[in-house]
């Protein structure tokens, strides 16, 4: 059970980008400790910046740095199921061509979906199932219905370097995804609590709701620019469901450090 979060903020917003990223990371920290990472991009940047490491969130929290010009963010904590975290390419954010994304869930037909693409598994021993999501996004130009070929559970977010200023999010089945909309931007996270933590530390107010299964959104300049629907895989049932809390104590530790960072 991984944790995902991120945002699309208005380019003119005075929101502290780094503090918002730290708040999201701290709030989802308990959902995985095998690896942690984030990615960000400003509207005029051709490429996203990706930072990731094979540690728990507590080892990265104080070193998170997001520039004021950045308007798009992805955050991930990993509890791995396929793709050992000793291989950096398996950890999130995951890249497939121009698409960089994060995923919570399990994709069972990833090898089948990736087989036609010569650019798949770009790094030696890369096997993470999540890459199939971002391959579909890349090769369909982010068409929502392309996700109907996925089998398994999914909540996901991604950036496409061909689409300046856009953050895409989607919820299939079997994994939660919350959305928070406010004056400064749109935030998403695996938990409602993560949105509440952002509200507290960034002094903003968000209209919060859980996305329906089969939801696809394009976020741009701090608002929901497009909404579409797709048919998720509702037949998938996990034989041994994982608990949401995979790293007990990580959230409490990170939230304590977050309070100190905000005070400083």
**Rounded mean pLDDT of 191-203?**
98
Give residue 239's pLDDT: 81
Q: What is the pLDDT of residues 142-161, one digit of tens each?
A: 999 999 999 999 999 999 99
**Mutual orientation of helices 250-263 and 17-28 as an angle, nearest 10°?**
160
Give residue 17's pLDDT: 98
First to last CA, the chain: 32
Q: What is the pLDDT of residues 78-120, one digit of tens each?
A: 999 999 999 999 999 999 999 999 999 999 999 999 999 999 9
Asked if residue 44 has pLDDT above 90, the reply is no
Q: Extract the tokens encoding 150.
A: 């996925």
Q: Extract the tokens encoding 170.
A: 């989607």
Domain 3-263: give its CATH architecture. Answer: 4-Layer Sandwich (3.60)
Residue 27 pLDDT level (bands cut at 50, 70, 90): very high
Mean pLDDT of the chain: 96
Asked if residue 242 has pLDDT above 80, the reply is no
Q: What is the pLDDT of residues 158-174, one digit of tens each?
A: 999 999 999 999 999 99
What is the distance between the alpha carbons of residues 216 and 219, in angstroms, rounded to a whole number?
A: 10
Residue 252 φ/ψ, nearest 5 degrees: -60, -45
Closest residue by Cα to residue 177 from 192, 199, 196 = 192
Note the pTM of the prediction, 2 decimals.
Answer: 0.97
DSSP category for residue 14: -
Segments making up each domain of the chain, as ranges: 3-263
Give residue 123's pLDDT: 87
Q: Which helix (H) or strand (E) holds 17?
A: helix 17-28
The size of the chain, in residues, is 264
């Amino acid at each position: 059970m991984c944790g995902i979060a991120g945002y699309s903020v208005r380019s003119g917003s005075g929101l502290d980008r780094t503090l918002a990223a730290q708040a999201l990371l701290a709030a989802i920290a308990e959902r995985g400790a095998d690896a942690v990472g984030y990615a960000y991009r400003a509207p005029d940047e051709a490429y996203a910046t990706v930072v990731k490491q094979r540690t728990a969130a507590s080892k990265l929290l104080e070193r998170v740095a997001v520039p004021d010009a950045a308007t798009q963010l992805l955050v991930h904590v990993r509890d791995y199921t396929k793709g050992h975290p000793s291989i950096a390419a398996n950890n999130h954010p995951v890249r497939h061509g121009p698409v960089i994304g994060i995923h919570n869930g399990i994709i069972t037909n990833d090898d089948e979906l990736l087989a036609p693409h010569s650019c798949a598994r770009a790094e030696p021993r890369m096997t993470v199932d999540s890459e199939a999501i971002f391959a579909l996004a890349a090769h369909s130009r982010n068409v929502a219905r392309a996700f109907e070929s996925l089998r398994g559970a999914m909540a996901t977010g991604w950036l496409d370097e061909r689409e300046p200023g856009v953050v895409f999010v989607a919820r299939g089945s079997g994994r939660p995804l919350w959305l928070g909309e406010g004056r400064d931007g749109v935030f998403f996270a695996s938990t409602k609590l993560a949105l509440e933590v952002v509200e507290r530390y960034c002094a903003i107010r968000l209209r919060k709701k859980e996305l329906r299964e089969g939801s696809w959104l394009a976020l741009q300049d701090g608002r929901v620019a497009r909404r579409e629907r797709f048919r998720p895989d509702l037949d998938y049932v996990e034989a041994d469901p994982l608990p949401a809390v995979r790293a007990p104590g990580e959230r409490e530790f990170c939230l304590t450090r977050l309070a100190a960072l905000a005070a400083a």
